[in-house]
Amino acid sequence: MQDKNTYYLGIDIGGSHFAMGVVDTDTMSLLAGTVERFPVDSGLSALPVLNQLIRSIRQTITNFQKPIKGIGISVPGPFDYEQGVSYIFGLNKFDSLYGVNIKLFLWSHLQDTLESIEQIAFLNDADSFVLGETYSNNLHSGKVLGVTLGTGIGSGFVVDGKVVTNSDHIPEDGNIYNLPFKGKRVEDWISTQWFLDTFFKTFGESVDNVKQIADHAETSEKAKDIFEQYGQHLGEVMCSLSGSFKPDALVIGGSISKSYHLFNNAFETCATPQNIRITKGTANAAIVGAVIHLTIKQNKLSTKRKTEQYVMPMRADESRKDEGYTVYPSFEIATGTVSMGVESLIDELPKEGCVLIDGYMGAYWEEFMAQVSAALQTRNVEHMGYDMASAYKEADVINNMVEPFLGGDDPVFGQIYPGNLKDFFDNQKLNSIQPIEGILNIFYGPGAALSGQKGTIVYIDVPKNEIQFRSRAGQVANLGNVMVEDNKQQYKRMYFIDWQVLNKHKQQLLKDIDFVVDGQFGSDITWCDGDTLRKGLQEMASHAFRPRPWFSPGIWGGDWMKERFGELAQDVPNYAWSFELIAPENGIVISKNGVRLEVSFDFLMFQDNQAILGEAASVFGTEFPIRFDYLDTVNGQNLSLQCHPTVAYMRENFGHNFTQDETYYILDAEPGAKVYLGFNEGVQKDEFRNALEQSHSEAKPMPVEDYVQTFEAKKHDLFLIPNGTVHCSGIGNLVLEISSTPYIFTFKMYDWMRMDLDGKPRPLNIKRGVENLNMECQGDKVQAEYISKPEVLQSGDDWKMIKLPTHPKHFYEIHRYELDSEMTVSTNGQCHILNLVEGTKINVMANGRSMDVHYAETFVVPAAAGSYTIKNLGTGTAKVVQSNVKPEISKTGL
For 181-205, write each residue's pLDDT tens digit: 999 999 999 999 999 999 999 999 9
CB distance 287 to 74 below 8 Å: yes
- From 243-252, 528-537, 666-675, 853-862, the region with the lowest mean pLDDT: 243-252
Averaged pLDDT of the chain? 95
Mean pLDDT to the nearest integer, 401-414: 95
273 band by pLDDT with thresholds 50, 70 and 90: low
Bridge partner residues of 460 (DSSP): 359, 517
Q: According to the model, what pLDDT value does residue 890 have?
A: 87
**pTM, rounded to two decimals:** 0.94
279 band by pLDDT with thresholds 50, 70 and 90: confident
Q: What is the 3-state secondary structure (H, E, C) of 790-858?
A: CEEEEECCCEEEEEECCCCCCCEEEEEEEECCEEEEECCCECEEEEEEECCEEEEEECCEEEEEECCCE
What confidence tens digit (pLDDT) does each residue in 364-381 have? Answer: 999 999 999 999 999 999
Mean pLDDT to the nearest integer, 681-695: 97
Mean pLDDT to the nearest integer, 492-505: 98
Mean pLDDT to the nearest integer, 139-144: 86
Q: According to the model, what pLDDT value does residue 280 have?
A: 79
**Interior CA angle at 168 toward 162 and 174, to 5°?**
55
- At position 454, the amino acid (one-letter code) is K
Task: Work out the percent of the chain whose per-residue pLDDT is above 90.
Answer: 87
Mean pLDDT to the nearest integer, 11-36: 93
Higher pLDDT, 709 or 316: 709
Say how far apart CA 722 and CA 233 lie, in whole Å: 67
Mean pLDDT to the nearest integer, 52-64: 96
Q: According to the model, what pLDDT value does residue 1 have?
A: 45
Mean pLDDT to the nearest integer, 31-46: 93
Mean pLDDT to the nearest integer, 809-821: 98
Q: According to the model, what pLDDT value does residue 3 have?
A: 60
Q: Residue 282 pLDDT > 80, yes or no?
A: no
Mean pLDDT to the nearest integer, 657-666: 97
What confidence tens digit (pLDDT) does each residue in 778-803 have? Answer: 999 999 999 999 999 999 999 999 99
Q: Residue 410 pLDDT > 60, yes or no?
A: yes
Q: Residue 450 pLDDT > 70, yes or no?
A: yes
Q: According to the model, what pLDDT value does residue 2 have?
A: 52
Say how far apart CA 485 and CA 186 lie, in whole Å: 30
Say how far apart CA 57 and CA 38 lie, in whole Å: 10
